[in-house]
Amino acid sequence: MIHFNISLFIVSVLAGGIACISGFGIGSLVTPLLAFKVGTSVAVAGVSIAHFLGTALRFWLWKKYINRKVLLSFGLTSALGGLIGALFHNIFQNIILTDIFGCLLVFAGFMGLTGLSENWRFRGAVAWGAGALSGIFGGLVGNQGGIRSAAMFGFDLKGKEFVATATGIALAVDTARMPVYCFMQWKDIQSIWPLIAVASAGVLIGTEIGVRVMGKIPENLFKRFVSGVILLIGVFILLHR
């Protein structure tokens, strides 16, 4: 048990740091590891608490860089979609859905690394629709961050603005979906509270480290970095489903 706790802590620190740079990563990295111990459904619910705490801290640190226009269009529908996805998580969560999700991340990461995503531009109804779809899909599989950040390539945002806005959206999504998970699976969450505490501590420490690293990444390399993370997490999901 102690070896698993150490592994969970290390992965959570790494996930918190990556999330502070790319705007996502906590659910994508911590959930699969915890799922080996407690099952996917319980892991998704438990990690939502660590995710909320890390996202709240990241929001506080980056809030002045938030793009309000993107937050109030793409972000609102993303939060609503995340709530809908969370409600149906236990019904539709399956391997096929996870495979599709992983393939989408690999595709989005490839598009970003090659620069092809520069042609994506979301405005008006398209922005609202992209937010809703990424929210629903992310809520269903419990890992919304990667698909949300991929969709956000459709907006012309600089590095800190990208992370801050993604964080603001993630916090809105967490506020919408975490009560659903807690209401539906409260007994399961209580049974793994020591693991949730370990993950939460790791995520918060990783977030503090990530803040310092973020400031050292050149603006012209930022989107390539995020794209690389998206692609790697997509591959990770496909290999560890």
Q: How far apart are CA 148 and CA 133, in angstroms?
A: 9
* Residue located via tokens 């709530």: 83
| Angle, vertex CA 238, rays to CA 237 and CA 239, nearest 5 | 90
Kindly report the backbone phi and psi dihedral angles of residue 122, in degrees, each rounded to the nearest multiple of 5, phi listed first: -105, 125
Q: Which of the four pLDDT bands, split at 50, 70 and 90, describes residue 125?
A: low
Alpha-carbon distance of 238 to 241, in angstroms, equals 6
pLDDT at residue 210 above 60? yes
pLDDT of the residue at 45: 84
Is the model's pLDDT at 91 over the cut of 70?
A: no
The DSSP code sequence of 191-237 is HTHHHHHHHHHHHHHHHHHHHHHHTTS-HHHHHHHHHHHHHHHHHHH
User: Residue 101: what pLDDT?
Assistant: 73
pLDDT on residue 41: 78
In this prediction the pTM is 0.79
Structural domain spans, the chain = 2-239
CA 72/CA 142 separation, integer angstroms: 22
- pLDDT range class, residue 182, cuts 50, 70, 90: confident
Mean pLDDT in residue range 146-167:
82
Residue pair 105/199 in contact (Cβ under 8 Å)? The answer is: no
- Tokens for 144? 């919304």
Burial class (CB in 10 A: 0-12, 13-18, 19+), 41: middle
State residue 126's pLDDT score. 65
Q: pLDDT by residue (tens digit) across 130-144?
A: 777 777 777 776 666
Rounded to 10 degrees, what is the CA torsion of 168, 173, 179, 183? Answer: -160
Give one DSSP letter per residue of 80-105, joined into a string. Answer: HHHHHHHHTHHHH--HHHHHHHHHHH
Confidence at 67, pLDDT banded by 50, 70, 90: very high
Look up residue 146 and give its two tokens.
Answer: 């990667």
Q: What pLDDT shows up at residue 53?
A: 93
- Between these two residues, 192 and 131, which has the higher pLDDT value? 192
Looking at residue 219, its amino acid is: E
Report residue 204's pLDDT band, with 50, 70 and 90 as the boundaries. Answer: very high
Q: For residue 40, give both structure tokens.
A: 């996917």
Q: Which residues, at least 6 apart from 52, have a Cβ–Cβ distance to it below 8 Å?
A: 171, 174, 175, 178
